[in-house]
Structure 1
């Protein structure tokens, strides 16, 4: 059976020269890939400022991310690129600092447990449906903007107990889009050992975008931080309250204000940007696969009818889950994970030197020609197929693995099933003639030209 294969950057026939690779990757990491990238077990590139090794063999991936994770900390180059936005957060730190932050943050996720968070998710999803209902019938709409809004609203409510209003959502979307677009331009000169090629104008624009986002968060955190320090804080049950209460098990110290902003910035941005990316691609895939969309609508109607979803409904929507799982395979929000070898390490027939960058690429692992049947096809039914079990075990890692596996994976999955099922319950999605989204790899996998779809409101929910 043939399936819809979404567009993705056509890989080069052979590996580009270092100079051509530099200019290609300035726009998107995906543009630097070539055909063998999707089959190789391990590759290497030696640049003026960097030795880079790409590992696609499942055993090596487990070694880097899980079995010997301490020997492969987060890449310093990535931390440098993200520091203006995320500071010294759990996403960029390593070693004892990372472990301390992780230990202090984990109890806070009790506030985000799925049963409690569902009410917040549903309220934000209902607001999304109201915004969509205000559009003209059959309107052409860029789903990236709406998915960014609703996911930012959900994590905003989960952290701060307040909704994210429209203007703030659009400012965050615009600022982060600018930050993403500039990241390769700032990072690549460091990789190539030519930092002097970074334009001061680009660096200034990147810092400005980061300040816009952090300024929005600081405005909400500052009064609650001061009230908590003065003993006048109101009783609230949300993640920020838990962060304010968190203490280092050894020293008893709390998060300082700047560190608190760093952790909230990380959680806010990681908690909405990755979900927004995946939900946007899921909407596109459903629009291009009307048979799957119709089956999904039938499933949602059989479970919900005309009523609002409840927490217990989520696990019953099997096809909806599989649609999102397949979206994460084809368009993993974080397409490339960079680590740094702490010491010389043998891998296959190579010796990876200390200080080298080791990249694990979910984008390549999850489209690997030797792991997945029909690797470029959208096929949500593969998750009910026993033959896919080995592929899932070997080459599926949209949330990473090992000690740095995403803490919010279950939260993101429930959020996605709720949003997608609510969307398909009320709307039929169709493509816009002549518009094909163009995936680009920056900090996350987004579309260079948006994801424009037509939304057709159904006469009745079911």
Structure 2
């Protein structure tokens, strides 16, 4: 049996209101207690906010699929993310969301994902060159490398621009600030802190970080947008070319510049940050699971041999794909989905007032002992026989009409990166290293991820 991958030890009992305040300022995972992993529903009452947690498959389907219009994306989430995302598909609702989804769909159809594979591969090749520069048996902080390569993949596949190290450092540092301060701002709002105090405590820093990222994206998008406005068309095969050309059937117009910037900012957040989280945790799990790592290595050798990686190869490495799926179960990048109840309703035995917050938490349901055997253990064989997985209990990409539009893109990118690393290196966790798991916008290791890389003969 594998060493059990680390997760924050839950508290014995539910925290008091003020303990919750102090715990969740750092990470919402810190506020969980033992019953969180076995309950069917829960409630957290704060001075300015009632929050309900739905942990049963039937309730999850009701919220995410059957009555999705009654449980739209949270207004608080929209308010928190708007300095970076503006009016993007990630937080909008209703007709605006439907229109945005329809306009984005062609950019993420399989044909388009296939077209950008070469651009994706260029970023991954450059990542491997960086790893090769380390001496053999080096301890590498891999979380930083995963964050950079996934951001580079987004820049190349969306905008045909390589992310240079200087610009990358600026953008990724800004994003780290934005993510950390967004958790703080959410807590200030839930506990009814006045706006002026929230501004002093970190909101100003957060807004500035959002501006830094949007300007970096704007500087690339603006010239391309102006080319299209002049009737010029470059020879691009990227996702931005699709966004610039798509026409809204109702308005008979293309996206405005601000609309495109909002959607690209969303793709940057959803595309690089979630993938970086998922990849870092997968490498962590593999570094403490030598048996599964060797099986994956042999599969890669049999499928790819000495050839360059191709899309056809990625579709054949089934065991490696299952490893990634199991990692997404244990460490879903987005640990909770925030919704709002727009009218009075009941979830199980709990009465929800209009405007109450509702959370569907992949982190909890994917580790729930009623739905998963040995829920905290790493076992990729779960995905060999899908009949054994209870419906609506595996939702790392969401579900229903709001399922992640970039799911196929993310799977392709992740398997390509993992296959490249495992074909060349054997990986082991640094001795005595324990990741500090924190839940913010995504689930990350607060103290990095230190892994030993040994070249295979």
TM band (smaller chain): over 0.9
TM-score, length-scaled by structure 1: 0.96
Determine the structure 2 residue equivalent to 1:432. 430
Q: Which 4+ residue blocks in structure 1 deviate beyond 6 angstroms?
A: none
Determine the structure 2 residue equivalent to 1:423. 421
Greater shift in the superposed pair: 246-255 or 129-138: 246-255
Equivalent residues in 2 for 1:24-423, closer than 5 Å: 24-110=23-109, 113-196=112-195, 197-385=197-385, 388-390=388-390, 393-423=391-421
Distance in 2 (alpha carbons) for counterparts of 1:264 and 1:386: 34
Q: Secondary structure at the match of 1:394?
A: coil
- CA, structure 1 residues 112+27, in 2 after alignment: closer, same or farther (shift >3 Å)? farther
Superposed CA offset, 1:132-184 (max 9, x none): 11112222111111111211122211111222222222322222111111111
Superposed CA offset, 1:178-231 (max 9, x none): 111111111111112224552525111111211111111011011111121122
- CA, structure 1 residues 192+426, in 2 after alignment: closer, same or farther (shift >3 Å)? same
Equivalent residues in 2 for 1:15-30, closer than 5 Å: 15-30=14-29
- CA, structure 1 residues 19+222, in 2 after alignment: closer, same or farther (shift >3 Å)? same
Say whether the 8 Å CA contact 1:371–1:394 is kept in structure 2.
no
Measured after TM superposition, the shift of residue 121 of structure 1 is 2.1
Q: 5+ residue gaps in structure 1?
A: none
Q: Secondary structure at the match of 1:113?
A: helix
Distance in 1 (alpha carbons) for counterparts of 2:194 and 2:418: 43
Say whether the 8 Å CA contact 1:111–1:238 is kept in structure 2.
no
Distance in 1 (alpha carbons) for counterparts of 2:335 and 2:194: 24
Q: 5+ residue gaps in structure 2?
A: none
Q: Secondary structure at the match of 2:247?
A: coil
Superposed CA offset, 1:394-445 (max 9, x none): 3100000011100111111111111101100001111112211111000000
Say whether the 8 Å CA contact 2:108–2:409 is kept in structure 1.
no
Distance in 1 (alpha carbons) for counterparts of 2:116 and 2:456: 28
Size of the alignment, in residue pairs? 456
Q: Secondary structure at the match of 2:283?
A: helix
Say whether the 8 Å CA contact 2:115–2:238 is kept in structure 1.
no
Determine the structure 2 residue equivalent to 1:450. 448
Distance in 2 (alpha carbons) for counterparts of 1:250 and 1:400: 28
Measured after TM superposition, the shift of residue 310 of structure 1 is 1.6
Superposed CA offset, 1:245-300 (max 9, x none): 22221111222222211111001221111111100110111111111111111111
Superposed CA offset, 1:360-393 (max 9, x none): 0000010001110010011112222466332xx2
Distance in 2 (alpha carbons) for counterparts of 1:386 and 1:307: 31
TM-score, length-scaled by structure 2: 0.97
Distance in 2 (alpha carbons) for counterparts of 1:258 and 1:310: 36
- CA, structure 1 residues 387+180, in 2 after alignment: closer, same or farther (shift >3 Å)? same
Distance in 2 (alpha carbons) for counterparts of 1:100 and 1:118: 27
